[in-house]
Chain A
Amino acid sequence: MDRILADPGVRIVVCCGSGGVGKTTTAAALALRAAERHGRRTVVLTIDPARRLAQSLGLTELDNTPRQVKGIEADESGGELHAMMLDMKRTFDEVVLAHTDPTRAAEIFANPFYQAMSSTFSGTQEYMAMEKLGQLHARGEWDLIVVDTPPSRSALDFLDAPARLSRFLDGRMLRLLLAPARAGGRSMFSLVTASFGMFSRVVQKVLGAQLLTDLSGFVAALDSMFGGFRQRAEQTYRILQARETAFLLVAAPEPDAVREAAYFAGRLGEERMPLAGLVLNRVHRTTAEGLSAERSRAAAEELERSGGFGAAADALRVHAALAEQATRERRVAAVFTDAYPAVPTVEVAAQPADVHDVDGLRTVGDALSQP
């Protein structure tokens, strides 16, 4: 991992994986290490950090701008760590402002469709995370950007949602809504426009005419921005395919998380996006390898029968449970490593308590950098 963090050619690290596997912690630990050990001016973009982790990074509010994290040990290396939390709505607002004049923008902001779309989760969060990544990258002031991906129902959403949203914003549906009259004149579209006319009638009936008015208002106001939306999404997509980007899959040794990671690895291959490795979090291992689970459990039972040594029997039972869990986890992880033997894997041992301070992140960073 240190090789990636130290490589000046790597400008973006994207941490992805299913929910609840420790993506945010991994992203923060990597960014901290890049700043402290490798002297890089680093920014970590988090999506939805645990409250206490956010506080430890000095993120008390969601203000959408990178804030420098104080109290890290980077005097020697000269690195810096900045952190920010994504504010989805504000990012969307900024995109609108950047692409249109203030009057139009005000119209768009007031539209109920815009309000619904910019604040709900259906793809917007992923798109805006991409957008923010694009912005940070374009400013060129960072040596390294570490991105945590949104807690999607599936890790793949991060790749798919932006394309879906931009396709949608640029789509013929919107163009038709904008200019039904214009489209009506073309015979080859007659079937389509016939059903479309009926569609708007149905929408009027079902949702009410006011909704359709709001909708065309929204569409008309956004008209000037369509090209911009798609262009930006495509730009960011190309950055993700470039050599300066490293994707890290994050998983826990549980069947669902590992299966998700394997799917994602497949997709990255198809999209020709650079997969740097798999981080397997919360791995249990025993420190007394020589003692098997069976042997340990049998000994605990024997001690209990003979009386005395209660604490030793407890410790043996803990060891047996741990050894069994370690075996199980190795079997689960093999699903990924068998399918992608060429992808380097780094394991992070399960911590007895959750990580929520800079020291804890440093420990995770050390674990991530074990050869």
Chain B
Amino acid sequence: MRASEQIPGQVNPAWPARLHVVTGKGGTGKTTVAAALALGLAAGGRRTLLVEVEGRQGIAELFGLGPLPYEERRVAGTPDGGEVRALAVDAELALLEYLDMFYKLGAAGRALRKFGAIDFATTIAPGLRDVLLTGKVKEATTRTVDRRRVYHAVVLDAPPTGRIGRFLNVTAETARLAKVGPIKTQSENVATLLRSPMTAVHVVTLLEEMPVQETVDAIADLDALGIPIGKVIVNATRPPLLTGTKVNQAELRRGLAAAGLATDRATVSGLYAEAKAYLTRHELEESLRVELAELGEPMVELPLLPGGVDRAALDTLAAELLGTQ
């Protein structure tokens, strides 16, 4: 089924979650993939929310905007009336918002902030910080107005694979510190959402050893925590360039001559060395692809976009992700 043919309000069958958590080793392009997914899921006149939690302002950078404040604001639209909003969650402000909701702090809250108390609280208990961040994400995911969901889907540009288990395992972190009270309740609610079919964690990787290893490790971690895995997204893949015939220098020289190119030693041996290096790289990539497939999770491959990431590139990736290209 094409995304545009779906009934409004229903989830996309290929991406059935409401909360899409996108992780991956640093440098694999998880922010780009998260943005493309948010765009893709907004197709068909829907509204999605793209969230970042690490204060990197990666979303703003990607869409060529100034730093995003702690507020949900439109960053992109789709031709069919869809809309992506973005939110950079700030742990301090999330805590104030949270305290205000429960305790009506007002000016006193601002004084606390000026005084560094909030920074203090979130520094001394990083687990608390994560509960606040994921709590805000949960709130946006489940928010309704007039009994209708405000967001068709929420896409979280999450911390990298090395930290994702700890970040999502909020109850374990807070259980150590807060044994009673609203924070405990909040972390339990977040944990329930994260372990439900409403959530899917997607792991972005490249066909390189370290990112693949971290993908394998992260999936094992998340499995052990009972957090549902969505897809393995293989980013920046290249179409194979070799048709399979093995090249040798003599044949290469004849080919160059036939094409009217120079056949000096340097050119021939240079091209030969390049082809051999390519083959080595390609074989390694193939074995890594097999390793990923053996995980048994659904896989999506995205092409390398050599021109860098602009809006057109994001649209291309979105179409690839949703299978609507």
* Complex-state Cα separation, A172 to B255, whole angstroms: 76
Contact call B242/A314, Cβ cutoff below 8 A: yes
* Complex-state Cα separation, A215 to B176, whole angstroms: 12
Contact call A208/B179, Cβ cutoff below 8 A: yes
Contact call B245/A311, Cβ cutoff below 8 A: yes
The answer, among A117, A286, A324, for a CB contact under 8 Å with B274, is A286
CB neighbours of A202 from chain B (8 A)? 99, 103, 105
A153 within 8 A of B: yes
Q: Which of B4-12, B115-123, B195-203, B227-235 is the interface stretch?
A: B115-123
- State how many residues of chain B have any CB contact under 8 Å with chain A: 81
Query: What is the CB-to-nearest-CB distance from B206 to chain A, in angstroms, rounded to a whole number?
Result: 9
CB pairs A–B below 8 angstroms (28 shown): A19-B27, A19-B160, A48-B162, A112-B177, A116-B127, A123-B123, A151-B26, A151-B160, A153-B26, A153-B159, A173-B117, A192-B111, A202-B99, A202-B103, A208-B178, A211-B177, A218-B124, A287-B271, A288-B267, A288-B270, A288-B271, A299-B261, A311-B255, A312-B255, A314-B241, A318-B242, A319-B274, A322-B274
CB neighbours of B225 from chain A (8 A)? none
The answer, among B129, B177, B254, B260, for a CB contact under 8 Å with A214, is B177
Q: A286-B270, A311-B252 in contact; A195/B210 too (CB < 8 A)?
A: no
Contact call B181/A168, Cβ cutoff below 8 A: no
Q: A113-B177, A286-B270, A318-B242 in contact; A198/B108 too (CB < 8 A)?
A: yes
Q: A116-B127, A173-B120 in contact; A151/B162 too (CB < 8 A)?
A: yes
Query: What is the CB-to-nearest-CB distance from A188 to chain B, in angstroms, rounded to a whole number?
Result: 14
The 7 closest A-B pairs by CB, nearest first: A312-B255, A19-B26, A20-B27, A288-B270, A287-B270, A311-B247, A309-B255
Q: A20-B26, A120-B166, A207-B177 in contact; A153/B54 too (CB < 8 A)?
A: yes
The answer, among A115, A171, A300, A328, for a CB contact under 8 Å with B120, is A171
CB neighbours of B99 from chain A (8 A)? 202, 206
Q: A206-B181, A309-B251 in contact; A50/B209 too (CB < 8 A)?
A: yes
CB neighbours of B111 from chain A (8 A)? 191-192, 195
Query: What is the CB-to-nearest-CB distance from B164 to chain A, in angstroms, rounded to a whole number?
Result: 12
Q: A205-B102, A205-B103 given; name 7 further pairs at CB < 8 Å.
A: A116-B127, A117-B124, A117-B126, A168-B119, A198-B108, A198-B112, A352-B278
B243 within 8 A of A: yes
Contact call A116/B120, Cβ cutoff below 8 A: no
B256 within 8 A of A: yes
* Chain A residues near B (Cβ < 8 Å): 18-21, 48, 50-52, 112-113, 115-117, 120-123, 151, 153-154, 164-165, 168, 171-174, 191-192, 195-196, 198-199, 202-203, 205-208, 210-211, 214-215, 218, 252, 254-257, 286-288, 290-291, 295, 299-300, 302-303, 306, 308-319, 321-322, 324-325, 328, 352-354, 356
Query: What is the CB-to-nearest-CB distance from B265 to chain A, in angstroms, rounded to a whole number?
Result: 10
CB neighbours of A211 from chain B (8 A)? 177-179, 181
Q: A198-B108, A205-B103 in contact; A310/B245 too (CB < 8 A)?
A: yes
Query: What is the CB-to-nearest-CB distance from A79 to chain B, in angstroms, rounded to a whole number?
Result: 28
CB neighbours of A309 from chain B (8 A)? 251, 254-255, 258-259
CB neighbours of B160 from chain A (8 A)? 19, 151, 153
Contact call A353/B280, Cβ cutoff below 8 A: yes
Contact call B252/A312, Cβ cutoff below 8 A: yes
Contact call A316/B26, Cβ cutoff below 8 A: no
CB neighbours of B267 from chain A (8 A)? 288, 290-291
B182 within 8 A of A: yes
CB neighbours of A288 from chain B (8 A)? 266-267, 270-271, 274
Query: What is the CB-to-nearest-CB distance from B160 to chain A, in angstroms, rounded to a whole number?
Result: 7
CB neighbours of A322 from chain B (8 A)? 274, 278
Query: What is the CB-to-nearest-CB distance from A214 to chain B, in angstroms, rounded to a whole number?
Result: 7
Contact call B210/A315, Cβ cutoff below 8 A: no
Contact call A354/B262, Cβ cutoff below 8 A: no
CB neighbours of A21 from chain B (8 A)? 27
Query: What is the CB-to-nearest-CB distance from B100 to chain A, in angstroms, rounded to a whole number?
Result: 11
CB neighbours of B178 from chain A (8 A)? 206-208, 211
CB neighbours of A52 from chain B (8 A)? 209
CB neighbours of A51 from chain B (8 A)? 213
* Complex-state Cα separation, A157 to B261, whole angstroms: 52
* Complex-state Cα separation, A191 to B55, whole angstroms: 31
B273 within 8 A of A: yes
Q: A199-B117, A291-B261 in contact; A312/B247 too (CB < 8 A)?
A: yes
Contact call A303/B259, Cβ cutoff below 8 A: yes
CB neighbours of B213 from chain A (8 A)? 50-51
* Complex-state Cα separation, A198 to B117, whole angstroms: 11
* Complex-state Cα separation, A204 to B272, whole angstroms: 71
Contact call A257/B247, Cβ cutoff below 8 A: no
Question: Across the two chains, which residue of chain A brings its CB closest to B175?
Answer: A112
B173 within 8 A of A: yes
Question: Across the two chains, which residue of chain A brings its CB closest to B238?
Answer: A321
The answer, among A153, A287, A300, A328, for a CB contact under 8 Å with B56, is A153
B277 within 8 A of A: yes
